[in-house]
Structure 1
C-alpha cells in the first residue's frame, strides 16, 4: 500500500528486511534513528519533545508544517475526551452526529480514572467547609442480589452530601467491635475534629457501635443520632396499627390495587378524575400510604361516579369480578369509610408535614425539629376541636417514639440556640432545653477554659447585648437561617458562635442514603459483581456522587426541596411491578399539598342508591343468609379474574377484601367513629 502520511517524505525506513531494525526510521536531515513509526517522527520534526528529541537540522518551513499538522490532528483520546464533555453538557438523549462511543477498555481505564480525579476535586472543595461548619456521617446498609451486605458512608454539611465509600461486611464480621473499627476508620478519613454526629437508622448493631465510640479517646465528642425521617415513619406506622386507621387503610389499598391492577379500570379512573392519580409516592412507606389516602378522599365524588357509571357496571370488571363488586360496595355504600378518611387526615397530615421538612435536605433543620414536633401535636389537637378523646391516643404514640428514639440533646441545643424562638418562646427556659445545651457543651468542648468562655458569652446572646441587640440583628432573627444569623452577628462571641454553628448546620435525617439505592442496584448486578473489588468501588464512588450532584442541581432549579426519585414500583398500593403507571408529570406536583383542607371532603351520604345498587344489596344480604345456613354457592369466584387488557398477573402479597366481617364497619364501629371523629 502506498504510504500517504506526510512524514514519509522526510524519513526512510532503515532496513525493512532486517527483523531487528524493521520499523526504525532515519530522519533525512539529522540522520537520527527512531523507533515508534511515523507518529514519533512527526513529533521529532515538529520539535514538540513528546517521545523524541527535536530535529535541529530540519528547515524552518518543515518544522512549521508539522507543528500546524499536529495541532489540527488531535489524538483519538483527546478527541474522545472532547466528545464526552460535549455529550455530558448536551445530553446523549439528543443524539450526537458522528459521536463515537468509547470502547469497553477505554471506559474501564482512562475514562474511569479521569472521572475519579474529577470527583476527588469536587470532594476537596467540600472538605474546605467541614472544619468550619462541622459535618455529619450518614450510615446505611444495603443487601445485593447475592445477599451481600454493604454499608454506605456519606458525609453531609451545608455544602451538600458526598458519598465517601462502601464497605462489604459479611455476617460473620458484623460484630459490634468490627463495626467500631470500621466507623473509626471512616471518621479518621473525614477528620475527627470535623465530625459532630453519626446518623444511622434504628439498626441495633449500628447504634451499639456508635455508642461505644464515646469510650474511645479522640471520639468522645461524637454523637450518635437516629434518623428523624425513619423515626417519623415509625410513628406513622404505629398510628396505622390503631383499629380505625388499620381498617380504613386496608379498604383504601383494596381500591387502589383493583384500579391499578387493570389497564381498563385505570384509564376509566383517569377519565373521571381528569387525569389525576390516586397514588402519591413519597420517600417513606407510611407517608405514601397516608398521602394516597388523602388523594382518595379528595377524589371521592369522581370515584363514586366512576363505580356507579353504566360504563363500569356493564363491564366484566364488575359483572364477573368479585373484587370489583367489593370495591364498588366500599366506594358507593360505605359512608363511614369517607367520614373516617376526613378524620384520619386531620390526625396524620401534621406529622407528614414534619417528615417532609426533615427529609428535604434543603436547609439544615436541627434548630427547628423540636418546635416542629410541638406544633404538630398542637395542630392535631386543633384539627379535632381540642377534644381530648380524639387525640389522646395519637399524642401517646408520638410521645413514646419521641422519648424513646427521636429526642436528642442536639435537638434541644439547636432549639435553644435558634434566634427564631429564643426571644419569644417562654418554653425556652424549660429545664430540659438547658440540660440538652449543657450536655452538648460538655461533650463537644472538652477544654474547660473554652467551656467557661462560652457560658460567659451566653449572657450576651440571651439578653441581646452588643451585635445581638442591633436593630438589623433583631429584624432578621426569623428571616435568616439560624446558622447564617450566628455567622453574621456572633463575632463578639467567637467561641459561642463556632459552637452554635456546628450544631445549627447539622442535618436530622439519613434518608439521603436511601434515595440512591438504584445506583447500587445498577452497579451491583450479577455481571458487574465479577469485577475486581477496587474497580467496583471506584465505579460506585463516581456514579453515586454524580447522582447526588444531579439531585442537588435539580432541586435548586426546581425550587422543590424534595426529590421523588427511586420510588419503588412494587408498592403494596399497586399491582404492577414493572413500569410505573403514574406519568412523569405527576412527579412535578408538590410532595404535599399544604393547601388541602380536610374539612372540604364531602362526608355526607351520597344520596339514594340506584336500582342496580339496591339489587346488589339484596343479593349481598341473601348470600350472607346462605352462608349462615351453610349453603354458600360457588358462583362469582370461578369467574373472578378478567383476562382482557390485564397488566400482568396479580401479586399474591396484595391483600384484597375478603368475605369476613373484619373489613366492614359494624354498628359498634360506627358508634366508635362517631365518638372519635369530630
Structure 2
C-alpha cells in the first residue's frame, strides 16, 4: 500500500502520522516480528479449523491441543533460545487456562476410547504415553463413568471392560493392527463386540462432532453490537456489552416463568405433549382464518412477529405467501 503511487499523491501522505505508518510498515524488523507472531498463532488456527468440520473428531481434541502446544514451543524456542522458556510458559499458561474452561470429562473419555492412541505407531514417537498413564485423562474417565453409570455394579463392569481394552486383552491380531489404520468409530463397530457395555458407549461418544457454534453465537452478538455505525467502541467496552447481552438471556432459562409461560416453546427439546399440541394446532390452521395470530402466536413458532393492522401490509403479505 505505502509504495503505491496513489499513496504519494494522497494529500495526507506527507503528514507526520502517515510518515510513521509508512516507516513502520517498511521496517524489516517489524515485518519479521509480525511473521514470528503469525507462526505462533498458526497452530492455533489449524487446530480450530481441524475441529470445525462436519465429522466426528471429539476423540482427537485432547491430543490435538498437546500437539499444538508442542509446535508452538518449537517455534518459540527456535527464535528466543531462552533456557528458562519464559515466553513459552506465558503462552502455555494462556492456552491451558482456555483449555481448562472448555474441557469436559467427555473430551477425556473420548480420547481414552480412541484406539490409535494405544498403538505402537503412536507410542513410538517421543514424549508419547498411553491415555491410561495420563493423570488428567484418568480422572476424566472416572468422572465420566461415575456420571454415566450411577449403578455401582454396572460401573464396575464397564470399568473392567475399559481396562481390558486399554491393555489389549482378548483382542485379535487384526484388532491390534487396525488400531492405527482405522478410524475410532469404524474400529469399535468392527472389533468392539467383545466389550458388551463399552462398545455402545464408545460408539455414542465418538459419534459426537466438535464445532465452533458456541463461539459463532458470540460473534453474531458482537457483530450486532460493533457495527459500521458503531465502530469506535473500545474492545473492552464491546466485550462488556456482549457479556451483558448474552448472560441475562442464559440466566432467564432458570426462572420459573420461562418453563411455564409461552416461552416454554422456545426450548430446543420441548416435551412430547407440547409437540403433539403444537402439531394439532398447526393442522387446524388455514390461511383463511381471520384470527390466525391470536390462535397461534408467531413467537411460539420461533419466527418474528408481524403487524397485520395495516391494510397495505396485509396485501403485500398475501402476495408473498
TM over 0.5: yes
Render the CA deviation track for 1:57-91: whole Å, top value 9, x for unaligned: xxxxxxxxxxxxxxxxxxxxxxxxxxxxxxxxxxx
For the structure 1 residues 309 and 507, does the alpha-carbon distance in structure 2 shift closer, same or farther, using more than 3 Å as the test? Answer: closer
Render the CA deviation track for 1:139-179: whole Å, top value 9, x for unaligned: xxxxxxxxxxxxxxxxxxxxxxxxxxxxxxxxxxxxxxxxx
Structure with the higher fraction of residues in helix conformation:
2
Q: Equivalences for 1:559-574 in 2 at 5 Å?
A: none
Are 2:36 and 1:313 aligned?
no
Q: Equivalences for 1:219-258 in 2 at 5 Å?
A: none
Are 2:107 and 1:411 aligned?
yes
Match of 1:535 in 2: 298
The correspondence for 2:25, drawn from 324, 331, 334, is 331
Q: CA deviation at 1:341?
A: 0.7
State whether residues 54 and 209 of structure 2, in contact with CA within 8 Å, keep that contact through their aligned partners in structure 1: no
The correspondence for 1:394, drawn from 80, 87, 91, is 91
For 2:115 and 2:192, how far apart are their aligned partners in 1? 12
State whether residues 110 and 205 of structure 2, in contact with CA within 8 Å, keep that contact through their aligned partners in structure 1: yes
Q: Equivalences for 1:438-477 in 2 at 5 Å?
A: 438-466=142-170, 468-471=171-174, 473-477=175-179
Render the CA deviation track for 1:643-666: whole Å, top value 9, x for unaligned: xxxxxxxxxxxxxxxxxxxxxxxx
Q: CA deviation at 1:490?
A: 0.7
Q: Aligned to 2:185, what secondary structure does the other structure show?
A: helix
RMSD: 3.0
Structure 1 unpaired stretches of 5+: 1-305, 522-530, 542-678
Scaled by the length of structure 1, the TM-score of the pair is 0.30
State whether residues 441 and 451 of structure 1, in contact with CA within 8 Å, keep that contact through their aligned partners in structure 2: yes
State whether residues 346 and 384 of structure 1, in contact with CA within 8 Å, keep that contact through their aligned partners in structure 2: no
Q: CA deviation at 1:338?
A: 0.9
The correspondence for 2:36, drawn from 328, 334, 343, is 343
Match of 1:48 in 2: none
For the structure 1 residues 513 and 406, does the alpha-carbon distance in structure 2 shift closer, same or farther, using more than 3 Å as the test? Answer: closer
The correspondence for 2:73, drawn from 366, 381, 388, is 381
For 1:394 and 1:310, how far apart are their aligned partners in 2? 41
Structure with the higher fraction of residues in strand conformation:
1
For 2:187 and 2:158, how far apart are their aligned partners in 1? 17
For the structure 1 residues 372 and 513, does the alpha-carbon distance in structure 2 shift closer, same or farther, using more than 3 Å as the test? Answer: closer
Structure 2 unpaired stretches of 5+: 225-292, 305-321
For the structure 1 residues 382 and 455, does the alpha-carbon distance in structure 2 shift closer, same or farther, using more than 3 Å as the test? Answer: same
Match of 2:198 in 1: 496
Render the CA deviation track for 1:516-536: whole Å, top value 9, x for unaligned: 969xx9xxxxxxxxx777334
State whether residues 118 and 179 of structure 2, in contact with CA within 8 Å, keep that contact through their aligned partners in structure 1: no
For 2:167 and 2:5, how far apart are their aligned partners in 1? 71
Name which one, 1 or 2, has greater alpha-carbon Rg: 1
Q: CA deviation at 1:363?
A: 1.6
Count of aligned residue pairs for this structure pair: 219
For 1:401 and 1:452, how far apart are their aligned partners in 2? 33
Q: CA deviation at 1:385?
A: 3.1
Q: Equivalences for 1:477-488 in 2 at 5 Å?
A: 477-488=179-190
Q: CA deviation at 1:540?
A: 4.1
For 2:115 and 2:297, how far apart are their aligned partners in 1? 48
For 1:513 and 1:399, how far apart are their aligned partners in 2? 18
Q: Aligned to 2:46, what secondary structure does the other structure show?
A: helix
Render the CA deviation track for 1:281-338: whole Å, top value 9, x for unaligned: xxxxxxxxxxxxxxxxxxxxxxxxx42344431233524x665444322212x33321
Scaled by the length of structure 2, the TM-score of the pair is 0.59
For the structure 1 residues 484 and 314, does the alpha-carbon distance in structure 2 shift closer, same or farther, using more than 3 Å as the test? Answer: same
